[in-house]
Structure 1
């Protein structure tokens, strides 16, 4: 999407200027159950279970070893897949305190400037820009350093 397609009083902004990035921390399927204590998300569930907005959490774990926890408005993306197209997905989580497993790329936008819901939709709608950031040949990866230059439209 180039500047000519933007509405008046909108501009393109680099994601690295209005958000910061984190990475989830290892959880395996064997550490997850539906009757454990702490809500958690595994990276594979971003492909199979969750859509653009996450309000209900499917799985739980009893593992609580210095976890990476969600904040409401975080955007979650898988950071590796066997196909590049699989990486062009994003989900905004609206719950705080959910344990985020390994291989999840977490984008934490400045909530005063950017809604996580809007960002998740921007990422999915601009699939080609995401795919231009993907690297790899057998297993494909998406890195925070590359997504920092991802541009999204925002009102002035």
Structure 2
């Protein structure tokens, strides 16, 4: 993607604040996660469960939707604090689904139609992460505030190119998932055959 930027004359320069509307999420503790109830995303899960894209919401809570912060669709979810390092905060997850309860120490940006939220997630995770990590502050607990990065200028390809890049990445990801599943089955078969040899 970096090569693409250096050779494509049709790039877009925009401040992060121009990508969409930012909003804060409600406070939530891990103890409010339940086995059933309304679908939710707790900020700690951005580190442990979700990658660049939230394909399936895993957690539930009994918090009522009317009393909570709900995703707006086409959102980028950024963790806002960590005890690890500043780089781990520049790792947003794209959430395309509306009305998912969001809670904990994170902020979200509802991405406008001029940009692809999934592309932007990959962009922040793999291209802009080192540059943006310098805006995170703290020692024991490191914080990232939206206002600190809102005026940072990013350089992006056209919306059409963003879509093509996402399609290519998702194609490779699907192929990798298939190959990993096949490898797992082959290893299981190998273990079975080895056991049969010693019966």
**Length-normalised TM-score, structure 2:** 0.71
Displacement after TM superposition at 1:6 (Å)? 5.8
Larger RCO: 1 or 2 (CA < 8 Å, sep 6+)? 1
Q: Which residues of 2 match residues 59-138 of structure 1 at below 5 A? A: 59-64=59-64, 66-82=67-83, 83-110=85-112, 112-125=113-126, 126-138=128-140
| Larger of the two Rg values belongs to structure | 2
Q: How many residues align?
A: 152
Whether the aligned pair in 2 keeps the contact of 1:54 and 1:93 (CA below 8 Å) is: yes
Give the SS at the match of 2:69: coil
**Distance verdict in 2 for CA 1:154–1:15, change over 3 Å:** farther
What is the rounded CA distance, in whole Å, between the counterparts of 2:7 and 2:93 in structure 1? Answer: 24
Whether the aligned pair in 2 keeps the contact of 1:13 and 1:154 (CA below 8 Å) is: no
Q: Which residues of 2 match residues 24-63 of structure 1 at below 5 A? A: 24-35=25-36, 37-63=37-63
Whether the aligned pair in 2 keeps the contact of 1:25 and 1:68 (CA below 8 Å) is: yes
Whether the aligned pair in 1 keeps the contact of 2:73 and 2:110 (CA below 8 Å) is: no
Whether the aligned pair in 2 keeps the contact of 1:55 and 1:95 (CA below 8 Å) is: no
**Length-normalised TM-score, structure 1:** 0.89
What is the rounded CA distance, in whole Å, between the counterparts of 2:122 and 2:88 in structure 1? Answer: 15
Displacement after TM superposition at 1:79 (Å)? 0.3
Structure 1 alignment gaps of length 5 or more: none
Higher strand share: 1
Displacement after TM superposition at 1:42 (Å)? 0.6
Q: Deviations over 1:121-151 (max 9, x none)?
A: 1111211122121111221111111121233
Whether the aligned pair in 2 keeps the contact of 1:23 and 1:102 (CA below 8 Å) is: no
What is the CA RMSD across the aligned residues, in angstroms? 1.8
Structure 2 alignment gaps of length 5 or more: 160-199
Higher helix share: 2
Q: Deviations over 1:62-99 (max 9, x none)?
A: 11262110122100010001121221211001211100
Counterpart residue number, 1:151? 153
**Distance verdict in 2 for CA 1:151–1:6, change over 3 Å:** farther
